[in-house]
Chains A and B, each alone.
Chain A
Amino acid sequence: ETGVTQTPRHLVMGMTNKKSLKCEQHLGHNAMYWYKQSAKKPLELMFVYSLEERVENNSVPSRFSPECPNSSHLFLHLHTLQPEDSALYLCASSQDPWLAGAVTGELFFGEGSRLTVL
């Protein structure tokens, strides 16, 4: 138990569906992250939120839409995904390094949401 909870753990969706992934952290952290993990690729950072403000990441397609209503919750809204978007999506939290002197500390990860796009 890392203090970061992700739901659902598994999700199968068609390309025309709309679904959301949810992440909740109970650690009092002020930064939350979405990572994508595909087979044989390094972990890819998708989005960073600090104090509920998003850090822009222009390389992520608009079919992925993050939402951070408060510092404990993070969502990833999914819309018209492609089969190549199938992956393990990991949420993480930390104390924001940019507020703490720009040195990254430990990231706490959730168990991930395994997404399959048909």
Chain B
Amino acid sequence: SQQGEEDPQALSIQEGENATMNCSYKTSINNLQWYRQNSGRGLVHLILIRSNEREKHSGRLRVTLDTSKKSSSLLITASRAADTASYFCATDAVGMNRDDKIIFGKGTRLHILP
């Protein structure tokens, strides 16, 4: 069954604005990761946040994690055209067998308008 689910499915914003994407999951996790995928390309790791962390920053990226609500958010500040991509959260679930260990959501398609 699907673990992580991103919201919204698609998001269009003006260049320079901030973009916020959310991820909800169902079971306890060890960590949560965010990945980016440009159209037709592979996924690129952005940031990993551990279950005992609440917030993490990397450049223009800010990730929060609320384990009580089983949710995470990815904020991209001062968006640029190059940020246009799909963004996925991936959860490392506690106690799962190997095949279910890391589960990806369906992703949020972000489009930055010029």
Interface class of chain B by DSSP: strand
CB < 8 Å neighbour of A114 from B33, B40, B92: B40
Nearest chain A residue, comparing its CB with the CB of B48 = A106
Q: How far is the CA of A97 from the CA of B102 in the complex (A)?
A: 10
Q: How distant is the Cα of A9 from the Cα of B31 in the complex, in angstroms?
A: 31
- Between B31, B33, B88, B104, the greatest number of chain A beta carbons within 10 A of the residue's beta carbon is seen for B104
A111, B42: Cβ atoms closer than 8 Å: yes
Q: Bound state CA distance, A91 and B103, in angstroms?
A: 15
Which residues of the other chain, A, contact B43 by a CB distance below 8 angstroms? 43, 90, 92, 107, 109
Q: Of the candidates B40, B45, B98, B103, which one forms a contact with A98 in the assembled complex, judged by CB atoms under 8 Å apart?
A: B98
Closest Cβ neighbor of B41 among chain A residues: A111
Question: Complex: how many Å from CA A38 to CA B2?
Answer: 15
Q: Which of A22-71 contact B (CB under 8 A)?
A: 40-43, 45, 48, 55, 57, 59
Q: In the complex, A57→B92 CA distance in Å?
A: 18
Residue B56 CB within 8 A of the other chain: no
State the main secondary structure of chain A at its contact with B.
Answer: loop
Number of residues from A at the complex interface, CB < 8 A: 29
B-side contacts of A112, CB under 8 Å? 40-42
- Chain B residue at minimum C-beta to C-beta distance from A112: B42
When chains A and B are docked, how far (Å) is the Cα of A22 from the Cα of B106? 25
Which residues on B are within 8 Å of A, measured CB to CB? 2, 30-31, 33, 35, 40-45, 48, 88, 90, 92, 98-99, 101-106
The 5 closest A-B pairs by CB, nearest first: A109-B42, A43-B104, A104-B92, A109-B43, A106-B45
